[in-house]
Amino acid sequence: MNNSTALPISIRGLTKKYGDLNALNSVDLEIKSSEFLTLLGPSGSGKTTLLMAIAGFNRPDAGSIKFGDAEMVLTPPHKRDVGMVFQSYALFPHMTVSENIGFPLKLRGLAAKEARGRVDEALATVQLSGLGDRGIDQLSGGQRQRVALARAFVFRPRILLMDEPLSALDKKLREHMQIELKQIHRQLGVTTVYVTHDQREALTMSDRIAVINDGELVQVDTPEAIYNRPKDQFVADFIGESTMLALTRDGDGRLSFGAEIISSSTPDSSVSNWRLVIRPERLHLLEGGANTSEKQVVFRGRVTEYVFQGETAFALVALNDTTILSVRFGTGAGSRLRSLELGALVSVGLMREDVILIPEEGQM
């Protein structure tokens, strides 16, 4: 049932203050029709405030929220036609599973027979067929999550909002549900805004991620772009693991770390101080004495720590007294290294394509 009525959301200059606190500071965000967009940020960043503003549960001080061409800022929640899943699921304990899912249909005055068909269809979509007559207290955490989801899309809303819906589940189930949610989204084709503080979840599920911090959007991009080309230190730090090295710039605009030239030019000449962001898994340990070349930068240091974690392992390599690189590598026979013992002198390579440069904080 591909949803032809999915709507784009256009947010302009959205501002919300709580006392002196700027919960949202002039946020502009265009969410495409049928897109799965994740609002990602630390707690208190404003991501939930933004979601609640889209749902209609708080009224912004300024700005506009449009669903398609219709201005929504003054529309009460029950007229927005938005499906919503809460972190606590907020299932109605005095109703059965079917009554929960049928609730929005009943409010819309659907005939009992048609409503029953839609409820069964929704139950099948979330793989709970046959559990309609159960009470809520007879369901497991994962099943409750599915009921909450079914209830949110059964009336074919134009927009689906989710506020950390998986955070109460254990890790295995959460990862399973991430994939399942993604599939259900593809099946329904409804514009979806998803809130999480879990960067891995955001990377797994989203078409695009909007990173939000202190009430402002920092970067809105695809998961690959967010990970490979973080715009600033906050994004680089918040998403994925990273080591940051301060670079020096010479008169010709070349950026280097120690003797190694990292970049032959400055990406933006108005910014003088740059940092190199290194993802641990983008580094590789080299046998013997490879040197920096056109293809890769080579760092040399001593192994100070080695940790085995199952599918990967990581080593800390001290380049000097203050700079320690974290290197992550596979644990299979192909990627193991003979000389990797504490105190050993090793070479670590970084391909030039994997070089990520960000401006030093406070220089934007």
Please say which residue, 90 or 298, places its beta carbon nearer to other proteins.
90
d(CA 265, CA 160): 45
* Residue 265 CA, distance from chain mean position: 31
Q: In the bound complex, what is the minimum distance in angstroms from residue 32's beta carbon to other proteins? A: 22
**Closest by alpha carbon to 160, among 4, 15, 54?**
54
- Chain positions 38 to 97 lying near other proteins, rule: CB under 8 A, are 55-57, 76-78, 80-84, 86, 88, 90-94
Q: In the bound complex, what is the minimum distance in angstroms from residue 38's beta carbon to other proteins? A: 19
- Token pair, residue 163, equals 């506020």
**Closest by alpha carbon to 133, among 105, 91, 96?**
96
Q: In the bound complex, what is the minimum distance in angstroms from residue 145's beta carbon to other proteins? A: 14
Residue 255 sits at φ, ψ, to 5 deg, of: -105, 130
Q: In the bound complex, what is the minimum distance in angstroms from residue 147's beta carbon to other proteins? A: 12
d(CA 12, CA 18): 19
In the list 46, 60, 104, 223, the residue contacting other proteins (rule: CB under 8 A) is 104
Which helix (H) or strand (E) segment holds residue 290: the answer is none
In the list 6, 125, 147, 155, the residue contacting other proteins (rule: CB under 8 A) is 155
Please say which residue, 86 or 306, places its beta carbon nearer to other proteins.
86
Give, as one character, the DSSP assignment of residue 29: E
Please say which residue, 150 or 278, places its beta carbon nearer to other proteins.
150
User: Does 151 interact with other proteins (rule: CB under 8 A)?
Assistant: yes
How many residues bind other proteins (CB under 8 A)? The answer is 26
Q: Residue length, the chain? A: 364
Please say which residue, 82 or 218, places its beta carbon nearer to other proteins.
82
Please say which residue, 106 or 176, places its beta carbon nearer to other proteins.
106
Please say which residue, 145 or 243, places its beta carbon nearer to other proteins.
145
Q: In the bound complex, what is the minimum distance in angstroms from residue 161's beta carbon to other proteins? A: 8
- Token pair, residue 320, equals 């000097």
Alpha helices in the chain (DSSP H): 47-55, 97-107, 112-125, 141-153, 171-188, 199-205, 223-228, 233-238
Please say which residue, 57 or 341, places its beta carbon nearer to other proteins.
57
User: Does 165 interact with other proteins (rule: CB under 8 A)?
Assistant: no
Q: In the bound complex, what is the minimum distance in angstroms from residue 190's beta carbon to other proteins? A: 14
Classify the C-alpha dihedral 44-226-7-184 as positive or negative: negative
User: Does 117 interact with other proteins (rule: CB under 8 A)?
Assistant: no
Give, as one character, the DSSP assignment of residue 56: T
d(CA 160, CA 109): 21
Q: Give contact residues for other proteins (rule: CB under 8 A).
A: 55-57, 76-78, 80-84, 86, 88, 90-94, 103-104, 107-108, 151-152, 155, 161
